[in-house]
């Protein structure tokens, strides 16, 4: 998985690298799911997630927040998202499974996606994202 955990005093901070924004958003969703519930595999549950925002940072924040809402409200772990970006909109077809304490033990409870420290930038040919999850 193309993400790494970075030092942070109280929360979980990660850095994700990908070739293109769509892949970056997809890999960040996968990383968030892995942090919450290691061992999640794409299953039969499929959801389309669509959010709108004015810029890529807002799109990513709102997309991840919607995935977190689906986890909190319905117990859905959507660990594989095929992302399509358009001007001001993200559409993602996501697959996953229901959360199981036995299967997904060892994860961290993510309470929110922080705007603090959230940045997307280029590093050579790659798109890079740094984000903090409130735990």
pTM: 0.93
Domain count, the chain: 1
Phi then psi for residue 88, to 5 deg, are: 75, 15
State the CATH number of the domain containing residue 62: 3.55.10.10
Residue 16 belongs to what domain range? 3-134
Give pLDDT, residue 1.
Answer: 46
Give pLDDT, residue 52.
Answer: 97
Give pLDDT, residue 128.
Answer: 96
Give pLDDT, residue 101.
Answer: 87
List, in sequence order, every residue forming a beta bridge with 97; answer none if it has no partner: 77
Give pLDDT, residue 5.
Answer: 86
CB 96 within 8 A of CB 76: yes
CA–CA separation, 60 and 52 (whole Å): 10
Q: What is the DSSP letter of 125?
A: T
Q: Exposed, middle or buried: residue 73 (CB in 10 Å: 0-12, 13-18, 19+)? A: exposed
Looking from the CA of 50 toward its CB, the CA atoms found within 13 Å total 4
- Tens of pLDDT along the chain (135 residues)? 479 988 888 899 999 999 999 999 999 999 999 999 988 888 889 999 999 999 999 999 999 999 999 999 999 999 999 999 999 999 999 999 999 888 888 888 999 999 998 999 999 999 999 999 999
Give pLDDT, residue 2.
Answer: 75
Give pLDDT, residue 72.
Answer: 95
């Amino acid at each position: 998985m193309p993400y790494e955990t970075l030092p942070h005093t109280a929360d979980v901070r990660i850095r994700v690298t990908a070739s293109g924004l769509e892949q970056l958003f997809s890999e960040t969703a996968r990383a968030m799911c892995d942090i919450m519930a290691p061992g999640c595999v794409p299953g039969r549950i499929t959801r389309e997630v669509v959010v709108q925002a004015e810029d890529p940072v807002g799109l990513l924040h709102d997309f991840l927040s919607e995935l977190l809402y689906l986890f909190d409200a319905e117990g859905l772990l959507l660990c594989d998202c095929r992302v399509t970006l358009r001007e001001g909109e993200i559409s993602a077809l996501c697959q996953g499974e229901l959360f199981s304490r036995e299967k997904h033990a060892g994860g961290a409870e993510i309470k929110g996606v922080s705007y603090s420290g959230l940045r997307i930038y280029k590093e050579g040919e790659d798109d890079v994202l740094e984000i903090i999850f409130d735990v």
